[in-house]
Structures are given as structure tokens and as C-alpha cells.
Structure 1
Amino acid sequence: MSFFQPQVSKAQQKHKADPAHQPWVEKYRPKTIDDVSAQEHTVAVLRKTLTSTNLPHMLFYGPPGTGKTSTILALARQLFGPDNFRARVLELNASDERGITIVREKIKNFARQTPRAQVVSSDGKTHPCPPYKIIILDEADSMTQDAQGALRRIMETYARITRFCLVCNYVTRIIEPLASRCSKFRFKPLDPTSTSSRLAQIATAENVPVTDDVITALISTSHGDLRRSITYLQSASRLSMSTSPPTPVTASDIQEIAGVVPDAVINDFAATLGVEILSSDEMKVDGIRAKGFDDVRQKVKDIVRQGYSASQILSQLHDLVIEHPTLTARQKSRCALVFAEADKALCDGADEELWILEVGLRVHKALAS
């Protein structure tokens, strides 16, 4: 073996996973910033960084599963290449290592190290390899106030050789002196078009036949969280392959995996309360308009026996009522007050069956008046 060949350590061999056994969220994680879905503004700004190699401290914030960590990791790989990545990038999850001790020891020690000279990349590509390191603090909103206070001084002291990227869900939990030192990038929940194209691409690569109904179910159950929708798709494909012969993935499979109450159950319950269910080719609703307390109570008992979560039932019933095209604004507002009261009661630990019954009766009364 030539001495000039890059040697792979035992640790690297150990952690090199077989792609067939990887979770799809890791297998299809963006390798470059151009692969990042839907965050056009952020990608456009960071693409300039690859040409100028001048990177500010950054603060990425937004809902889970929108590509925050994937974006900074892809950028770091493009900047430093596979050989320099480990030496130049420190990734910490601040929800685990969030105290002031970690900031004073681990982060400070890494930040003060002078980066080594550029090494020829083993992948045959030329990487900018700018003269600084990157420290990625994931879940930075979980850091204590003292830790955030200590971090701001380190950011100033070692700004010449170290850049920080703070990743968080709630930007309001980052102290103002820290936030003002960073360029802010807001990551939006993924729009249905971007999500559907990415899911279709993954399904094609994995040879999983999916219909438009399955994609729609994945989008509606994940609420803009691409990571969650990819996980649901992988779970559904495993479920379909477990049967003999394998069955195609259906929208009801996705709802079952996501813990969502099937549309037929919600529509049946809503029809019992007097909500007019618009005709659908897929959904046959046999719900009968309730005539009194006993009818609603029996329907609630049937639903509770199936083991669905009360908060999930009321959330989906709320969406159905509020988005209903034929109900009046007064009826919707009365129902919304009921749902709000029920949500508060359930958060306080109230009995689930009683509150489903309470909501059912009061919605029935609001629609009847």
C-alpha cells in the first residue's frame, strides 16, 4: 500500500454505516446547500459564502425538520472537504451539553486552536478551506443564561479564527447580546410543493410506489416537517413489505403510523353532531344527526373505546369545523370557544372522555341554534 494513500482509521471504519441500514433522513440528508429544499433566501446568501469564504456568525431558527442543521453541515462540508471536516468543525447538541462548564472548557479550547494549513482533499475536489473553524451549537435555545453570557465573550475573542452557528427552534430564548452578534436566517415550514417533490424523489430512489393520496397524507400529517414525513414514509414502506405478498402503501397506513385519527372516524363524529359532511369519492359517512344527549354520548363512547387521543380528536374536529365552507361565522366562533376551553382543560389534566362529550354536546347546540 502506498504511504501517500489516505488511511482510514478503525474508528472511521466502525462508524461507516451501510446505506441499506441507514434511516432515510440520514441517507438523503443534503450533501450540498443546493440540495436543501425550499429555503431559497438562505441558500442564495450562503452560496455567496462559498465564493467569498467570508462567513459571519450565524443564527438559524425555525420549526423542527426544516433543514437548519442539514444546511450548516452541508455548507461546512463544501467549505472544508471530507479530510478537514473533523478538524475544522465542532458540532455540539446544546440540549445535552448546555452548561457554562462546556462553554468554558470544550468550546473555548476548540475556538482558541489555530486551524491547520489546507490539505489536498482525498475526493479529488478543490475546497475553499478558509482560515477559520466552525462551531455548531444545535438546540442553542436550551442553553442556560449563564452559558449564553459566557459564549458571547468567546465569540468576540476568537472571531478571527472561529465562526459560530447557533441552531434553535425559538429565537426568543436566545439572549439579545448573542443574537445581535449573528446574522439571522429564518427557516420556514416546507410548502407542500417542495415536500411532495422531495418525497417523490426518495420514493423513486427506494422503489416504493406511492400515489398522490399517500403524498397528501404525508404532507397533512407532518405539518411542514420534512424529517417527520420522510420517517413516516420509511415506516409505511417497512409495513407494506412485511406482508406476504407486499401491499402498496395507502393513506390510511400513513395516518395509522402518524397517530392521526382516520378521516372516516372524524367525519362520522362530526356528522353525528350536525356538521354537514361534503360528498367525497373516498369517504362514505354513515353518521346520523344526533337527536339528544344519549346519541352523542354513545358516539363518544365508541370513539374513546378505539383508543384515540382526545387532543388529537378535538384538533382534527376543530380544523373540520373552522374550515367548513357552509357554517356561519357565528357558529364557527361559538365552536372555537368550546375547543379553546377544552384544550385548556386537557392541558390541566381533565378527564378525556368527559371533555370529548362536553365538546360534542356544545358543538351540537351551537350548530342547532
Structure 2
Amino acid sequence: MADPADGRDEIWVEKYRPETLENVVGHDDIIDRIESYVERDDLPHLLFSGPAGTGKTATASAIAKELYGDDWRGNFLELNASDERGIDVVRDRIKNFARSSFGGYNYRIIFLDEADALTSDAQSALRRTMEQFSNNTRFILSCNYSSQIIDPIQSRCAVFRFTSLDDDAVAKRIEEIAAEEGIEYTDAGVDALVYAADGDMRRAINALQAAAATGEIVDEDAVFTITSTARPEEIREMVTSAIDGDFPAARAGLDELIDERGLAGGDIIDQLHRSVWDFDVDDDLAVFLMERLGEADYRISTGANERVQLEALLAAVALEVD
């Protein structure tokens, strides 16, 4: 077991990034298909879509490491389209890499992260580049929403849809890293990390490192404090008060989360959405609550006051059941 003091100056997300496809967790079907491409050395253009922290970037880099071994850095170009989203990036950096000479391999890989941030003109230029250099270059595109990728690019790629990781996969990985780092933890602490991560492995590992940095045992108190996440029972108590018609109590619970705990309105909306079906309410009230959640979320996203919208949500619930 490692000394708990060792490696604390490292970023664990990078330290424990999968080195091989076999180490990518939670997507067995996807990995099996990609491994067959790698084994045959017959990689098509790939499009990975799905939420953040589900293994898209890790899978892309693992493909390069398996194909090229120690030479992978020279044959793998990674670009982030959200930072470099103009058409010049496609015309210059991508084309220069695709044109440059290399030996020993049939093709090189260009990984374009957050490709859905590319402008439509840049995507059109990318489509033409994919056609022009298809003999010696393979593209791996990563995005949160495949609907933002133009159809001509989608039709040229094998599409893989990464879903949020299940709780068991996240918990298992957290326990493995904690054991490797010599971190003491409780089962409730692991459950809290899984809850706060919500299927995002990167968020879970970052939260584990932050909680472990206190030098104490990683328990649920440390996790909820570090991640600025409301406990599920706090959300339940706030909504239950509204359902019971006690708006002042529900509003006091909301004030506690915003003022004392520092939670953002969007985070509270997300936790409410995850918890709706855990409340002991009939289907009609659950549907009404979902409708009001959607309305509040939209208004907050367009710049409305978070507190006003959340109070209006709780008031609507209180009035609905009154």
C-alpha cells in the first residue's frame, strides 16, 4: 500500500487515467467493439458522444497507446474544439498534422474533443479534410450531443454513445484508488462520492482527492462539504415541507442550501430532478413537480434570479397540494 503522503501533488484523474482499453470501466460493449478494430488494425473514423466524465477521452488515448505503444504521442494529435473552434484550426493545425510525414504505421489519429463546439463552417471544412486525408489519418470526435454534429460527419463515423457510469463501477474505481493511495474511507463516504459524482468518474476521483487532502478519513461529512452537495435527505425534507403546505419551512431549507452551504441554483435543480421519483407522492404530483422543475431550469439558464425561481417552484408545489 502506498504512503498516504505520496503523490498528493499529482492530479489523480491523470495519474489513474486508463492506459489500455481493458482498463476503461463501465462500457464493456463499446470497448469490445473498439478492441476488435484495434486487433485488426482497421480503425474507422469514430464519434464518441455522451456526458462528461464517462470515458470518451480516456478511450481515445487508450486506442492510441495500444496502436502505437511508446510512439503514441507522435502519432496522436489532441485538440479541444471549445478553445479552438474556428475554421482556421481545421485548415491549419489538422491539415499540417495530416500532411506531415511519418513512418512505420498505416495512419495517425487526430482526436477532436468537444467537437460539437465547432462552428458549422468548421465542421464542413472538417468533413472535406476527413475525405482528403482518409488514406493516412483517422479522426476520433468527442462531443456531449451528437445532434450538434452535422450529418455528413456522422455518416462517416462509427458512432459510440457513452452513457453515465453506473454506481457500482464508480464505487469500485473509487475503492481501488483509495486502496492504492492508502486512504481510509467509510462505506457511507463512498456512497456520498457516488451520489455527488452522478455517473461522472472524473468528478468522483477529483472529489476523492479533495476529501483525502484533509488528511482524515473520507466519510460522508467530508465528501458533502468538499463537493458543496446537498445531502439527499436535505432535498427530501425541503420538498416534503412544500408538499405538506409548509412553505416557510421549505423556504428556510432553501435558504440554508444557498446562503449557508453556497449551492448554486442549477445544482439544486439537478439534485431535485434526480430525487423526484424518490418522494412519496402520486404520479400527478410528480409530473407537476417535473414540469415546474423544467420551467425553473429554463428560466435560470436564461438569466433569471435563482432564488426567486426556486422559491416560486416550492410555492407552486405548496399551493398545488393545499
* TM-score category of the 2 structures, normalised to the smaller one: 0.7 to 0.9
Name the CA distance, whole Å, in 2 between partners of 1:105 and 1:250.
Answer: 50
Corresponding position of 1:208 = 183
Note the C-alpha offset of 1:44: 0.6
Name the CA distance, whole Å, in 2 between partners of 1:92 and 1:46.
Answer: 21
Structure 2 counterpart of 1:336, one-letter code:
M
* Identical positions, percent: 37
Note the C-alpha offset of 1:70: 0.8
Corresponding position of 2:288 = 334
Q: Does the C-alpha gap of structure 1 residues 97 and 298 become closer, same or farther in structure 2, counting only changes over 3 Å?
A: closer
Q: Does the C-alpha gap of structure 1 residues 42 and 318 become closer, same or farther in structure 2, counting only changes over 3 Å?
A: closer
Q: Deviations over 1:27-69 (max 9, x none)?
A: 0000000000011122111212332111111111111101111
Note the C-alpha offset of 1:145: 1.4
Alpha-carbon RMSD: 2.5
The answer (yes or no) to whether the contact 2:82–2:117 under 8 Å persists in 1 is yes
Q: Does the C-alpha gap of structure 1 residues 72 and 345 become closer, same or farther in structure 2, counting only changes over 3 Å?
A: closer
Corresponding position of 1:31 = 19
The answer (yes or no) to whether the contact 1:115–1:131 under 8 Å persists in 2 is no
Q: Deviations over 1:73-114 (max 9, x none)?
A: 1111111111x2232221111222222212222211211234
Please give the TM-score of this superposition, normalised by the length of structure 1. Answer: 0.77
Q: Does the C-alpha gap of structure 1 residues 85 and 304 become closer, same or farther in structure 2, counting only changes over 3 Å?
A: closer
Name the CA distance, whole Å, in 1 between partners of 2:239 and 2:195.
Answer: 19
List runs of 5+ in structure 2 lacking aligned partners.
Answer: 1-5
Corresponding position of 2:279 = 324
Q: Give SS of 1:21's match.
A: coil
Q: Does the C-alpha gap of structure 1 residues 312 and 56 become closer, same or farther in structure 2, counting only changes over 3 Å?
A: closer
The counterpart of 2:165, out of the listed 190, 194, 216, is 190
The answer (yes or no) to whether the contact 2:190–2:219 under 8 Å persists in 1 is no
2:81 corresponds to 1:94: yes
Q: Deviations over 1:312-364 (max 9, x none)?
A: 44544455454223x22233333334333433443344444444443333322
The counterpart of 2:64, out of the listed 73, 76, 79, is 76
The answer (yes or no) to whether the contact 2:186–2:217 under 8 Å persists in 1 is no
Corresponding position of 1:273 = 242
Please give the TM-score of this superposition, normalised by the length of structure 2. Answer: 0.88
Note the C-alpha offset of 1:142: 1.1
Corresponding position of 1:169 = 144
Note the C-alpha offset of 1:160: 1.5
| 1:1-369 equivalences in 2 (<5 Å) | 20-82=8-70, 84-117=71-104, 130-239=105-214, 241=215, 247-275=216-244, 290=246, 304-306=258-260, 307-317=262-272, 319-325=274-280, 327-368=281-322
Which stretch shifts more, 259-268 or 53-62? 259-268
Q: Deviations over 1:223-255 (max 9, x none)?
A: 11100111011101112x1xxxxx322212222
The answer (yes or no) to whether the contact 2:230–2:257 under 8 Å persists in 1 is no
Name the CA distance, whole Å, in 2 between partners of 1:297 and 1:192.
Answer: 31
Name the CA distance, whole Å, in 2 between partners of 1:163 and 1:321.
Answer: 43
Name the CA distance, whole Å, in 2 between partners of 1:158 and 1:343.
Answer: 43
Looking at secondary structure, tell me which structure has more helix per residue: 2
The answer (yes or no) to whether the contact 1:256–1:262 under 8 Å persists in 2 is no
The answer (yes or no) to whether the contact 2:8–2:213 under 8 Å persists in 1 is no
Structure 2 counterpart of 1:328, one-letter code:
D
Name the CA distance, whole Å, in 2 between partners of 1:110 and 1:318.
Answer: 44
Structure 2 counterpart of 1:138, one-letter code:
D
List runs of 5+ in structure 1 lacking aligned partners.
Answer: 1-17, 118-129, 242-246, 276-288
Q: Does the C-alpha gap of structure 1 residues 206 and 109 become closer, same or farther in structure 2, counting only changes over 3 Å?
A: same
Q: Give SS of 2:213's match.
A: helix
Q: Give SS of 1:59's match.
A: strand
Note the C-alpha offset of 1:182: 1.1
